[in-house]
Amino acid sequence: MINRIKSFSTKSTLKYSIVFLTMICVAVFTGCKGKTDEHGHAADTHAEAGEKEGEHDHSEGDGHDHSKDEEGVKHEKGESPENSEHADEIAFSEKQAKLAGLTTETVSPGTFYNAIKTSGQIQAPQGNEVVIAATSNGIVSFTNSSITEGTAVSAGQSIVTISAKKLLEGDPAAKTKIAYETALKEYKRAEGLAKDQIISTKEFEQVKLRYETAKTTYDAQASNNTAKGVSVTSPISGYLKNRLVSQGEYVSVGQAIATVSQNKRLQLRAEVTESNFKILKSIKTANFKLSYDKTVYKLSDLNGKLLSYGKSSGDNTFYIPVTFEFDNIGDIIPGAFAEVYLLSSPQNNVISIPVSSITEEQGLFFVYLQLDAEGYKKQEVELGENNGERVHILSGLKVGDKVVTKGVYQVKLAATSSVMPEGHNH
């Protein structure tokens, strides 16, 4: 009886052990499948990987190699190990660069001129401008409706005619002619009487004086008298700088009508503070930028020269004038205001780049570097002095860097949406 009980107990224990082991195997299999699915691998793939790579090492955790899963996740996100090194690279194709007119400059040390930044004004030199004045009283009539500011005129060209024919006081030209003819007749008569000593020498001299005065007045207008009135001409060739009277306006003798400028040479007058007086001795040239133009003009390219600088400030100002003279290339208007950069002593072995290379974002300054034919990079820089043409770079660039100098904003726009093309690597 006891043996039968022991046999029954042994069989029951074995039965429960088998059931327990079966449940453990199911649980292990289910857990392994769940972890495999979490990383996107099928069960058969897991098994094949085990056959190819050998036996899985289950000694640590679930034995799964997560380093391969991380690479898989990066691959799904488009982040290959190679591309991660150039995550900040900007894609800008050669075709885009050509359309944008993109140019670059290789960074290298060179000579940089320090500058004093101030303001100034373009002026016409003395002798290059004349004021046309009225030679008679009357109503002004411009000879051509196209005569306006900026119109080219030649020496001897008629600008206006002045007529007083319909005025109450009468036409001065007609009066002058009558006065001359009367004086001429009186002079001839007196000349005969003087020979016969009928009139005294004193009386004859008075008649002669009246005649010569009338003749001088008449001769001054005779050459310019026309059917429409007295013609007023330009004494020099140039362009009409401004019209000082309007069509139909009454003028008197000597009144200014217009200004004509030859505009061959211009002057740049800048003003600096008294604190910079000692530096003025070292200034020889300047760069300037007009208020209506973004172009930076260099006096060295315009045959410019320093005329003078003030030795004292004015009574009502604390500024000292500095005056240059240069050739007018046709794009510069006398009277225009300008930003002026007075160039002083040069510095050698200085890294500088064109002003056009710089962009600003929230008080920080950046340039764009070309890495290869279609790859660019945004680089922060620290700026030094600016002479209007170039900027001294204190940090952020090294010799050999290729800086974008033209087409900068096109590259900046591409940076906001640039995605490196698939397979792009270095």
pLDDT more than 70, % of the chain: 74
**% pLDDT > 90, the chain:** 24
CA 13/CA 80 separation, integer angstroms: 57
Work out the average pLDDT over 72-96.
61
pLDDT of residue 19: 56
Q: Single out the residue of 305, 295, 386, 313 nearest to residue 125, CA to CA.
A: 305
Residue 181 or 74, more confident = 181
pLDDT for 402 equals 94
Report the length, in residues, of the chain: 426
Pick the CATH number of 129-261 from 3.40.309.10, 1.10.287.470, 1.10.287.70, 1.20.80.10: 1.10.287.470
- Average pLDDT rounded to a whole number, residues 98-102: 90
DSSP string, 282-339: G--EEEEEETT--PEEEGGGTT-EEEEE-SS--TT-SEEEEEEEEE--SS--TT-EEE
Architecture of the domain whose range is 90-109+351-415? Beta Barrel (2.40)
- pLDDT, mean over the chain: 78
Contact yes or no for 386/117 (Cβ under 8 A) = yes
Q: Is the pLDDT of residue 2 over 60?
A: no
Highest mean pLDDT among 1-10, 63-72, 220-229: 220-229
pLDDT digits (tens, 9 = 90+) for 319-337: 888 999 998 877 788 889 9
pLDDT at 281: 82
Residues 6+ apart with CB under 8 A from 297: 287, 288, 289, 290, 332
* Residue 180: band (very low, low, confident or very high) from pLDDT cuts 50, 70, 90: confident
* Average pLDDT estimate for 243-251: 89
Task: Check residues 137 and 365 and name the one with the higher pLDDT.
Answer: 365
* Kind and range of the H or E run holding 402: strand 402-406
Residue 105's pLDDT is what?
93
Residue 82 has pLDDT above 50, yes or no: no
Instruction: Identify the weakest region by mean pLDDT among 298-312, 327-341, 412-426.
Output: 412-426
Question: Which residue ranges make up each domain of the chain?
Answer: 2-77, 90-109+351-415, 115-125+263-347, 129-261
| pTM for this model (two decimals) | 0.52
Q: Are 102 and 404 in contact (CB under 8 A)?
A: yes
Alpha helices per DSSP H over 196-279: 201-222
Residue 424 has pLDDT above 50, yes or no: no
Residue scoring higher pLDDT (26 or 395):
395
Q: What is the pLDDT of residue 219?
A: 79
45-59, 233-247, 298-312, 355-369: lowest mean pLDDT where? 45-59
Q: Which residue has the tokens 């591309």?
A: 83
Q: What is the mean pLDDT of residues 132-145?
A: 86
Structural fold of domain 115-125+263-347: Elongation Factor Tu (Ef-tu); domain 3 (2.40.30)
- Mean of the pLDDT values across residues 173-196? 86
